[in-house]
């Protein structure tokens, strides 16, 4: 899916600073449910989703907990959980 990375424009990571502290809900990823469709990567507005060696990695320094990745995931592989 490297080609996909050249077809979409991405925000600069951290353009709004470290947005992780905005978060009240945290996305929790379940590899067993993931079908590697790249929807979370495409739609994350903070550019903090990467897919490395077929595993979704979320950069929690910049994830603001908006829940878009969870909403667009067709496999329910990302659950939003309240922060402690
Ligand atoms: S909740 Fe998901 S879509 Fe929103 S910033 Fe975090 S990783 Fe990106
Ligand atoms: S949207 Fe869901 S199924 Fe698709 S890559 Fe992301 S976590 Fe995996």
pLDDT tens digits, one per residue of 41-65:
999 999 999 999 999 999 999 999 9
What is the CATH number for 42? 3.30.70.20
Q: Whose CA is nearest to atom 5 of ligand 1?
A: 63
Stretch among 13-17, 29-33, 73-77 having the lowest mean pLDDT: 13-17
Q: What is the pLDDT of residue 74?
A: 98
75 in contact with ligand 2, CB cutoff 6 A: yes
The verdict on residue 10 lying in a domain is: no
The verdict on residue 1 lying in a domain is: no
The verdict on residue 76 lying in a domain is: yes
What residues line ligand 1, using a CB cutoff of 6 Å?
Answer: 27, 44, 46, 48-49, 58, 63-69
The verdict on residue 43 lying in a domain is: yes
Burial class (CB in 10 A: 0-12, 13-18, 19+), 15: exposed
The verdict on residue 55 lying in a domain is: yes
Q: State which of 65, 79, 82 you would mutate to test the pocket of ligand 1, scoring each by most atoms of that ligand within 8 A of its C-beta.
A: 65
Overall number of domains in the chain: 1
Q: Which domain holds residue 54?
A: 17-82
């Amino acid at each position: 899916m490297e080609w996909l990375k050249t077809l979409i424009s991405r925000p600069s990571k951290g353009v709004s600073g470290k947005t992780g502290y905005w978060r009240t809900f945290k996305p929790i990823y379940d590899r067993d449910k993931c079908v590697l469709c790249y929807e979370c990567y495409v739609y994350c507005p903070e550019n903090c989703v990467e897919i490395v060696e077929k595993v979704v990695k979320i950069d929690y320094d910049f994830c603001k907990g908006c829940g878009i990745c969870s909403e667009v995931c067709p496999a329910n592989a990302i659950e939003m959980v309240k922060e402690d």
